[in-house]
Chain A
Amino acid sequence: NAGVTQTPKFRILKIGQSMTLQCTQDMNHNYMYWYRQDPGMGLKLIYYSVGAGITDKGEVPNGYNVSRSTTEDFPLRLELAAPSQTSVYFCASSQYTSNNSPLHFGNGTRLTVT
């Protein structure tokens, strides 16, 4: 059972380049999320999705885009990368229930923009 899989694990971008961070989950979860983690700042929500075809902005969406064409996949697109986007990015999924529904996190993508 793979859970939430993110690729790549590491990436270095030059300012102005673009890239897509991939995220896929095999748990048939409806809810998926992208967070970024900066040192000492906890995790900030970038975008989320409540199901295929439905996405919405989180707390820090500027400079990012997402799509959700299938239940399994939730890629995050960075256009015109900036140094402020240097961070660790985590994808997560959940199936909200009345009993117990923590977010399941991928292993993260460490991105450096120089």
Chain B
Amino acid sequence: ELKVEQNPLFLSMQEGKNYTIYCNYSTTSDRLYWYRQDPGKSLESLFVLLSNGAVKQEGRLMASLDTKARLSTLHITAAVHDLSATYFCAVNAKGSGYALNFGKGTSLLVTP
């Protein structure tokens, strides 16, 4: 069974600080996804990481993938309040029509 584990599950950080969210998964997967969800809203795709060593950046967020370690990181640089949301990582579940298995999510709160 494919397991996806994120940590931390809750994160409160001050504006201007840096932090990293970690995502571990239990079996090989050819790609990894990061999503953002605002309260009461749908999920928005942030990054798709397709290969070992892949790195993608968008604004203050940077995601990376190490397929050998089965680890992805989402790094937040100089956090701002607008980044407050829940962040999910997900990997493809084999044999499920390319459905995604999601982690439990990291709830991020950025405070002044």
Contact = CB atoms under 8 A, between A and B. Distances in A.
A42 interface: yes
Interface string B1-35: 00010000100000000000000000000000101
Contact of A107 (B41, B50, B99, B100): B41
13 contacts: A33-B99, A42-B88, A42-B104, A42-B105, A43-B102, A45-B93, A45-B101, A56-B96, A58-B99, A94-B98, A102-B33, A103-B43, A105-B42
B104 A40 contact: yes
Nearest to A55: B97
A107 B44 CA distance: 10
Interface size class of B (residues with CB under 8 A): 20 to 34
Given A42-B103, A43-B88, A103 B45 contact: yes
B91 to A, nearest CB: 12
Contact of B43 (A45, A56, A90, A100): A90
Contacts of A31: 97-99
Interface string A76-114: 000000000000001000101001111111111000000
A49 interface: yes
